[in-house]
Structure 1
Amino acid sequence: MTTRQRALIVDDEPDIRELLEITLGRMKLDTRSARNVKEAREWLAREPFDLCLTDMRLPDGSGLELVQYIQQRHPQVPVAMITAYGSLETAINALKAGAFDFLTKPVDLGRLRELVATALRLRSNGGTEGVEDSRLLGDSPPMRDLRKQVHKLARSQAPVYISGESGSGKELVARLIHEQGPRADQAFVPVNCGAIPSELMESEFFGHKKGSFTGAIEDKQGLFQAAHSGTLFLDEVADLPLPMQVKLLRAIQEKAVRTVGGQQEQVVDVRILSATHKDLAAEVAAGRFRQDLYYRLNVIELRVPPLRERREDIPLLADAVLRRLSAESGLSGAELAPEALEKLKNYRFPGNVRELENMLERAYTLCEDDTIKQQDLRLADAPCSADSGEASLAQVDNIEDYLEDIERKLIMQALEETRWNRTAAAQRLGLTFRSMRYRLKKLGID
């Protein structure tokens, strides 16, 4: 006889408790009920649970405190928060604290059943930390930290904004969050927001009905419908035009979409992951990205480090790429000569892992005797580590301007690599903070 799964319901309103008990009972769950934080803690100490549903406002504390308590003492138990209608900030705070998901009052029973089913799938999966090791390579501290964060975020339904430079692996990170979570057996739908013509954007996202516009020769499913019960990954989300940002915000808030030419809204259950190589906060400040949409997408930010911040991973990555190339081509493998590897380790890689892959693919086809030499990398014409290049006297019109330009490039590089932390950038350059501040002012860097 199989043991029934068990849910803990925490709410001080008897009617709400009864509604949740009946609904979960019909889903073949055993339930235990608590009226406050104290009773909830007592139940958690006595019995194991597969899920917890808690109200935000409780007589002796808040649901947020309970979320934090369960995160610390019982991290394997998914917690969903029940909040008052319209209290979005409260729900976002709960997600940041580690809540699995949230519901608003009055509780929609269909949405409740979906949430419970998703949470129980998460419990039955048992968490699969380590499945990413074959793709998210690297033993450097930033990569070990990234893998831990991916595993943790996979257990939540919170929207995640993945920041990072072009070529750093943002889509791979999004896929791994999806694959390690409770939606793993549903669709992962990636979309490059910058690649869709603005006039087709609404149709692409929400679908259209036959005859709704010229060229609509048949009904078409949108990206939201295709990702129903799964994950929608919005890559280069900063490229969305403002009118589309409004429609996207509404779809996320209402959890429903209306097809172009359609009369009724369709309920959609999707987890939203987004990414861009741009600074999304700066786009908001410049008025190019809506602040309300930014707060909905950026509940939790996950930064993917650029390759230059984890140079110690380059040998491991290079070896994996060369083994893949050999397997795909059916040809013998190739190795990097020591001086070629040293050259790679000292290169800045503005294109990150993608650039490393392309560089090695080219070198693999050019090399002789299965050894990639320094000249096979073709780095002579590429930016060097300092990215400043060399200039002959004939190219220098004004030595002061020339030196100032080099200084500006080095300072900008240090600022970018420290995420605009001026103190850390000064330390990297061997400057005092006072000297750094003087140079920033002199060069007009804000």
Structure 2
Amino acid sequence: MKALVFDDERTIRNVLKKVLMKEDLTVKTYESGKDAVQIIQEELPDIVFLDISLGDADGLEILKQVIGFENKPYVVMISGHNEYNYLIEAMKLGAYDYIPKPFDIERIRKVVNDIKKIAGAQTVSETLDIDIVGKSPSMGEIFKMVGRAGASDEPVLITGESGTGKEVIAKLIHRYSNRSDRPFIAINCAAIPSGLIESELFGYEKGAFTGADKPKKGKFLLADGGTIFLDEISEMSLEAQSKLLRVLQEMEVTPVGSSKTYSIDVRVISATNRDLIKLVAEGKFREDLFYRLSVIEIHIPPLRERKEDIPDLIELFSKQAMKKYGLKRGGFTKEAVEVMMNYDYPGNVRELKNIVNKLIALHRERPITPDLIPPKITGSEDFGGTDWRSGFVKEARSLILQNKKNIYVKMIEEAEKLVIQEVLKHTNGNISEAAKYLGIHRNTIHRKIEDLNISVNKL
């Protein structure tokens, strides 16, 4: 395989040449990017390592032309810029990968070996007014996926816990797609009663039902030419799922109470915080609809798994809050940020933004120091006691912050399970003895063991 390296730093060129030759590549290096397009046309390399900011040329402009070649090489952008907008732009244009300087030699080797096994990639850019930053490896991969999705019209399924920013990613995909100048329509499927979801999605004619005193366009027609975002798709009823599937297959909608069908051109992005594969197995979600929606899948990890993104997020949210309140100074001290990084944020990015906004709104231009951070973040919160009740309160608050449903049932069941398990441990699995301690009938214990999935043998 042949590789060309375009970089105006001699050290970078020499290091890359040495590494690539050890990977059995034939290598040529160039300081100038002025004639890069012509050189690549003539040399027909397999791989091109291209600096994004050459002294006499724009690496992205070179990339645009090279990607149009019939026998285009795999282009790996290398750059001193670590901002995500450069990364996204490069990937959208068709770069195979984007490696910031100073780069890891092992990563270069991995990229080369991946290319040898044949791969591909794409992504996007520009200055954004969207609540997202992140330099963690996981966010880097997500930005790459955003670029790939932006270069396609295929349906996208975004998964992740509540508050991780699924709608933000959906907007980012739309922003960097060829539909960016068309509507982005979002709808929360969980917030609409099952009986109204069809009329909300597909619209209705006057007189279609009681209260329909004038016709209304559905979300799909409003999104025509653009993108529709179906949040909490897992909460849609099976009947509505069936109708949605038909619309996605035919790309046609018929408003409720109408005999007229409208052709539509809509890109569908859906999101859920639940396991759709599990719901499919349980018969609660259509398998054919799942495969229709999940052509491209993007999973957003919880904030506790990418804590290195917290400082940048705090800076972003602080600037937004200061602008909102007209403040000229303020924000978080380095020590305060370090404290903020020790918390797990069960409510994810949404919770972090809420905390930052509250602190700046409360303390205005005063620097946010560790002593101003809420006790629940620092771990010094007083729940009113150190007994088991404090743990219950803490768990309840955590579930509320995560927007969980059926909290009462979940917590009561968990409490029952723990109590029964402990008593059974004490009685060595003797259910009759356990019944005396618990004050309930032994038949009730048998039923609870089955309902709560308690393994007596492992006690």
- Please point out which of 296, 309, 321 is paired with 2:305: 309
Q: Which amino acid aligns with 2:340?
A: L
Kindly name which structure, 1 or 2, has the bigger radius of gyration based on alpha carbons. 2
Displacement of 1:99 in angstroms is 12
Instruction: Tell me, yes or no, if the aligned pair for 2:322 and 2:328 is still in contact at 8 Å.
Output: yes
Partner letter of residue 153 of structure 1? A
Q: Which residue of 2 aligns with 1:178?
A: 174
Residue number in structure 2 paired with 1:428 = none
Q: Structure 2: how far apart are the matches of 1:273 and 1:393?
A: 43
Give the AA of the match of 1:348. D
Q: Cα deviation per residue 1:232-287 (whole Å; 9 max; x = unaligned)?
A: 11011001011101100111011111111111211111111000111111221222
**Letter of the 2:307 counterpart:** R
Counterparts of 1:170 and 1:272, CA distance in 2: 14
Q: Deviations over 1:121-173 (max 9, x none)?
A: xxxxx974354596430111111111111011110111110011111111111
Q: Which runs of 5+ in 2 are unaligned?
A: 1-64, 76-91, 95-117, 392-417, 423-452
**Residue matched to 2:330:** 334
Question: Are residue 364 (structure 1) and residue 340 (structure 2) matched?
Answer: no
Counterpart of 1:157? Answer: 153
State how far apart, in whole Å, the 2-side matches of 1:258 and 1:209 are. Answer: 10
Residues 374, 48 of structure 1: CA spacing in aligned structure 2 closer, same or farther, 3 A cutoff?
A: closer
For 1:275, the aligned partner's letter is A
TM-score, normalised with respect to structure 1: 0.59
Name the SS for the 2:270 alignment partner. Answer: strand
Contact 1:189/1:223 (<8 A) preserved: yes
Cα distance, 1:179–1:71 mapped onto 2, change above 3 Å? farther
1:286 alignment counterpart: 282
Residue 198 of structure 1, aligned match among 162, 180, 194: 194
Structure 1 residues 149, 127: CA separation in 2 closer, same or farther (over 3 Å shift)? closer
1:240 to 2:236 alignment: yes
- Residue 389 of structure 1, CA deviation: 12
Partner SS state of residue 181, structure 1: coil
Tell me how far apart the structure 2 counterparts of residues 444 and 179 of structure 1 sit (CA, whole Å): 56
Return the match for 2:133 from 134, 137, 143.
137
Alpha-carbon distance in 2 for matches of 1:293, 1:71? 37
The residue type paired with residue 232 of structure 1 is I
Using the TM superposition, give the Cα deviation of residue 333 of structure 1 relative to its aligned residue in structure 2, in angstroms: 2.8
CA spacing shift, 1:264–1:154, aligned 2, 3 Å: same
* Contact in 1 for aligned 2:136/2:306 (Cα 8 Å): yes
Deviations 1:407-429 (A, max 9, x none): xxxxxxxxxxxxxxxxxxxxxxx
CA distance in 1 between counterparts of 2:162 and 2:234 reads 13
The corresponding residue for 2:319 is 323
1:276 is the counterpart of 2:253? no
Provide structure 1 residue ranges, at least 5 long, that are not aligned to the other structure.
Answer: 1-46, 53-68, 78-96, 101-125, 406-439
8 Å contact from structure 2 (residues 146, 172) kept in 1: yes
> For the structure 1 residues 50 and 213, does the alpha-carbon distance in structure 2 shift closer, same or farther, using more than 3 Å as the test?
farther
Q: Is 1:374 paired with 2:340?
A: no
SS class of match (1:166): coil
Change (3 A) 1:51 1:136: farther
Residue type at the aligned position of 1:174: A
For residues 267-318 of structure 1, the C-alpha deviation after alignment (integer angstroms, 9 at most, x for no partner) is 1111110001111112212221111111111112101121111111111111
Q: How does 1:9-28 map to 2 (within 5 A)?
A: none
C-alpha deviations, 1:315-361, integer Å up to 9, x for none? 11111111111111112332323442222101001111110111111
Q: How does 1:74-93 map to 2 (within 5 A)?
A: none
Closer, same or farther: CA 393–238 of 1 in aligned 2, 3 Å: closer
Q: Which letter does structure 1 place at the counterpart of 2:145?
A: Q
- Is contact 2:156-2:295 (8 Å) kept? yes
Residue 375 of structure 1: CA displacement?
Answer: 4.0
SS in structure 1 opposite 2:244?
Answer: helix
Say whether 1:258 aligns with 2:263: no
- Native 8 Å contact 1:71 1:98 kept in 2: no
Corresponding pairs, count: 299
**CA distance 1:394–1:98, change in 2 (3 Å):** closer
- The 1-side partners of 2:155 and 2:322 are apart by 38
Q: For residues 254 and 364 of structure 1, do their structure 2 counterparts lie closer, same or farther at Cα, with a shift above 3 Å needed?
A: same
2:93/2:124 contact within 8 Å kept? no
